């Protein structure tokens, strides 16, 4: 009764989760699995109260194991893993044939449990592998906790099989330690599995919303606020190394918009961002500062290195054609480059100096870089 009620309440929560996060693949499959799990527990309860035919026992077992299979498939889909549906179908069919044989032709409680428990252990083992094979960063702790819960299931399976060897348990309703251990374990596993799955979905939603809030929609690089936060965080460190900040502007960008239209201008912004980003390595940073202005932050970059990097950025953009409706468009950059010791400046000072250098580059003919060194 306790397990059935708990499963029902958890299903209600999961249905609400699916309704609010139905953009993610796999949640509906997982929720369906939990509904099946709830139905199977209710079936166990009814079988304990009423005398029901063998067909009900067979269907009950099939629903119970289907729930486990759907849980693992749903987790795999949510994590965008490649699902071998044919293998899962064969797994279910083999279990079906084994249950038909063990219910109608060889009515042996131990081997019927063996068939169920081995299938559960295999399914959760594959679900655990789906998680471990996924390169997750933003919700790694939660996903590993879920993997731990799935991996614990085979241990519970082995423990139940050992307890059944004493021959005292002939039904799921027999009051034995094996059954008490099993129902308590299922209650705990169900609660923790669903809890960590809900947390994993929630953390993914938060992570993606946070990413959207920090990314420039058009160019898919950091927006102004996210760029400033990251640079300030780096400048607040204790390492005493030179840093370089580059403030750059696309030359005659208004002319591109006026001549070819704003769609062409948007394409130029996207391609310039792509070219600049391709020349960066971690932890170097690119952000859109506003309009046609971009900012590049190069930690651990001396004045001599800054000249080479700035020239590389300028050259890459100048030699890279942007195609708009099959028409090649070319553009150039003006760059204001400032290098300073990390521990002596803040972002406002760097921006002020870089802006002056950028203005000087435009006055001197554009398509060039001007440099400032703060001693």
Give the residue carrying structure tokens 């044939």. Answer: 97
Give the mean pLDDT of 350-371: 91
CA distances from 12 to 6, 200, 232 (A): 10, 18, 45
List the structure tokens of 276.
Answer: 């600049």
| 307-321 residue pLDDT tens | 999 999 999 988 887
Q: What angle do CA 160, 163, 166 make, to 5 degrees?
A: 145
Whether residue 195 contacts residue 9, with contact meaning beta carbons closer than 8 Å, is answered with no
Give the mean pLDDT of 266-271: 89
Name the CA dihedral angle for 166, 168, 169, 175, rounded to a multiple of 10 degrees.
-130
Q: Who wins on pLDDT, 330 or 342?
A: 330
How does residue 325 score in pLDDT terms, banded at 50, 70 and 90?
low
Give the residue carrying structure tokens 């241990």. Answer: 155
Task: Tally the C-alpha atoms within 13 A of residue 280's C-alpha that lie toward its C-beta.
Answer: 18
Distance CA 368, CA 236 (A): 31
Give the mean pLDDT of 335-359: 87
Distance CA 315, CA 241 (A): 27
| 89-132 residue pLDDT tens | 999 999 999 999 988 888 888 998 999 999 999 999 999 999 99
How does residue 193 score in pLDDT terms, banded at 50, 70 and 90?
very high
Distance CA 195, CA 14 (A): 10
Q: Who wins on pLDDT, 340 or 328?
A: 340
List the structure tokens of 333.
Answer: 């950059």
Peptide linkage before 283 cis (omega within 30 of 0)? yes
Residues above pLDDT 70, as percent of the chain: 98
The CB density around residue 20, as the number of other CB atoms within 10 Å, is 12
CA distances from 74 to 15, 131, 198, 217, 308 (A): 14, 11, 12, 30, 50
List the structure tokens of 36.
Answer: 């099946």
List the structure tokens of 320.
Answer: 């890279």
Whether residue 174 contacts residue 163, with contact meaning beta carbons closer than 8 Å, is answered with no
Backbone angles phi, psi at 246, to 5 degrees: -120, 120
Helical ranges in the chain per DSSP H? 2-20, 27-49, 54-78, 85-100, 109-132, 140-164, 177-214, 224-235, 253-260, 262-278, 303-319, 347-363
Name the CA dihedral angle for 176, 178, 181, 184, rounded to a multiple of 10 degrees.
-70
- Return the pLDDT at 88: 95
- Return the pLDDT at 239: 67
pTM of this prediction exceeds 0.85? no
Q: For the chain, what's the residue count?
A: 375
Give the mean pLDDT of 243-258: 89
- Return the pLDDT at 320: 83
Distance CA 299, CA 318 (A): 25
How does residue 356 score in pLDDT terms, banded at 50, 70 and 90?
very high
Among 20-24, 208-212, 290-294, 336-340, the least confident range? 208-212
CA distances from 43 to 70, 172, 226, 255 (A): 18, 12, 53, 73
Give the mean pLDDT of 362-374: 89
Query: Is the pLDDT at 1 greater than 80, yes or no?
Result: no
């Amino acid at each position: 009764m306790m397990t059935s009620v708990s499963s029902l309440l958890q299903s209600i929560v999961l249905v609400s989760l699916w309704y609010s996060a139905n953009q993610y693949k796999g949640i509906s499959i997982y929720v369906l699995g939990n509904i099946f799990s709830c139905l199977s527990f209710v079936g166990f309860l009814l079988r304990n109260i009423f005398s029901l035919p063998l067909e009900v026992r067979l269907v009950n077992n099939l629903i119970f194991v289907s729930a486990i299979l759907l849980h693992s498939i749903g987790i795999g889909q949510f994590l965008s893993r490649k699902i071998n549906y044919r293998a899962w179908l064969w797994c279910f069919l083999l279990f079906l044939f084994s249950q038909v044989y063990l219910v109608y032709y060889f009515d042996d409680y131990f081997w019927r449990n063996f068939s169920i428990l081995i299938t559960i252990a295999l399914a959760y083992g594959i679900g655990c592998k789906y998680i471990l094979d996924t390169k997750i960063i933003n919700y790694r702790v939660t996903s590993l906790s879920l993997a731990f819960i799935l991996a614990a299931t085979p241990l519970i399976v082995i423990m139940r099989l050992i307890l059944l060897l004493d021959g005292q348990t002939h039904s799921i309703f027999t009051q034995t330690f094996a059954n008490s251990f099993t129902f308590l374990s299922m209650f705990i596993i169900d609660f923790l599995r669903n809890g960590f799955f809900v947390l994993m979905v929630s953390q993914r939603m938060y992570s993606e919303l946070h990413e959207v809030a920090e990314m420039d929609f058009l160019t898919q690089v950091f927006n102004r606020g996210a760029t400033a936060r990251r640079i300030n965080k780096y400048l607040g460190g204790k390492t005493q190394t030179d840093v370089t900040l580059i403030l750059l502007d696309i030359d005659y960008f208004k002319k591109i918009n006026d001549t070819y239209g704003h769609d062409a201008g948007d394409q130029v912004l996207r391609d310039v961002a792509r070219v600049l980003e391709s020349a960066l390595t971690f932890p170097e940073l690119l952000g859109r500062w506003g309009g046609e202005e971009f900012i590049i932050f190069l930690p651990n970059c001396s004045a001599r290195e800054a000249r080479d990097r700035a020239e590389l950025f300028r050259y890459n953009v100048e030699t890279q054609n942007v195609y708009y409706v099959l028409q090649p468009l070319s553009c150039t950059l003006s760059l204001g480059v400032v290098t300073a010791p990390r521990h002596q400046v803040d972002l406002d000072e760097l921006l002020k100096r870089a802006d002056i250098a950028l203005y000087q580059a435009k006055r001197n003919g554009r398509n060039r870089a001007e440099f400032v060194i703060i001693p």
